[in-house]
Structure 1
């Protein structure tokens, strides 16, 4: 299986990355990123509101892996005013000249409010690619209608339990890649009995099955862990396939009705 996807702007993104939401700034975050890079990850996803960009940057610099080999995503905190100024701050904290992907973290203030600033950030070379996060079908349509550079990514909560098929279908029609955050349900999905049965049958962990499902359903996937063994296990998902029956059983775990909504309980 290919391990990268070409985005609509011609850049390539690794299909599997480490998410660092809710990872504490300092040693915890630095260790998680270091362990991920040692395990083979080349995609790290952070955000301004996570408060750990400096730790991500330190871990990357100390890793010995060349900057050009690591795909870095951060996200604009939309309660703030200017995406360009905020990205300049992110770059200082990360210790890099450019991020690979810059996302509007959620559609606060309306879906189009930040987009002109996001395009300026890309035009100035501060970000190679730009996209959105937590945007539903209507919000995506509003951004696309502005013209100019369209989002190349929509990062949303996605797993077999939140199988947002209608939203994914619209994204794919517009060549917007879907990134799955919280693919393990921040751990709450891992004890599901149906999932455990499939994991036992294929000889993999429940987390590996959920990540593999995401990959086979055409998603970029961002599992989070702060445990070295689990970080490594979560990357070991390219050597097996889920069969059609297992995929169908996982699809049936959906609790959203195949929604076009990005989030059931928006926080903005």
Structure 2
């Protein structure tokens, strides 16, 4: 990982660098809500924006990027293939049309519906066609990563996973690292559920930071790229202010102990696509 600052990155297997912090737009409504949150984030210095075909807000993300005035090459843009469709390459072209850009920085399989391998050749075709610089996966377990590795010509660069002190998937992160895959944390705040936990609150008070900042900082110190979602300007500001402090070993251990997954190598407890 590069220096401990707001532009810190992790190098990916394809040679590009992904910011360790960005904005996710899951559950952000298409239109002004998404546009405003992405514009605010870019104005504040965020350089990683994460969307998906399933979110149905790609066009709003694209408009916000154009309106921001930030050069496209300075932004790391991710979208995800919806695996209810059949052809990842064709769907990438549609995403680029909606986003109004010539390329993606990262294109992920959103979840391993119908198995972890069938869509990968189409993902590789998207790279070969110049539609995306990198490809990866989301919600894949350690076993599914292993299965995919047997057929892949291009290795996944990223696995985006549900990850927080309460869903501390240490086994899965270790499997990612062993395979040369950067793990990326979504829902680091548990979609808000984890903000009121007394242990988190105690550490927030002791470090003079907020519960959200503590949870994000913990995931960054675990080596992950982290993409909290918010549509509120003050929270977008708050979430970004995590590079001026470090959690000590005692605080990290206390947060680790909140895990409810037995440090699993699974990606999710409930696989909605099964």
In 1, Cα distance between equivalents of 2:175 and 2:70 = 36
What is residue 20 of structure 1 aligned with on the other side?
25
1:175-215 Cα deviation digits (max 9, x unpaired): 10000000000001000011000000000010000010011
Alignment partner of 1:168 out of 170, 173, 180: 173
Counterpart contact for 2:82–2:109, Cα < 8 Å: yes
1:206-229 Cα deviation digits (max 9, x unpaired): 000001001100100000011001
SS of 1:194's equivalent?
helix
Counterpart contact for 2:111–2:138, Cα < 8 Å: yes
Alignment partner of 1:9 out of 5, 11, 14: 14
Corresponding pairs, count: 268
Alignment partner of 1:90 out of 95, 100, 103: 95
Per-residue deviation, 1:109:
1.1
Alignment partner of 2:134 out of 123, 126, 129: 129
Report the TM-score when normalising by structure 1: 0.99
In 1, Cα distance between equivalents of 2:253 and 2:124 = 39
- In structure 1, stretches of 5+ residues that fail to align are none
Q: CA RMSD in A?
A: 0.6
Alignment partner of 1:65 out of 64, 70, 73: 70
What is residue 232 of structure 2 aligned with on the other side?
227
Off by >2 Å, runs of 4+ in structure 1 = none
In 2, Cα distance between equivalents of 1:142 and 1:78 = 17
Counterpart contact for 2:168–2:261, Cα < 8 Å: yes
SS of 1:89's equivalent?
helix
What is residue 218 of structure 2 aligned with on the other side?
213
- In structure 2, stretches of 5+ residues that fail to align are none
Q: How does 1:147-226 map to 2 (within 5 A)?
A: 147-226=152-231
SS of 2:195's equivalent?
coil
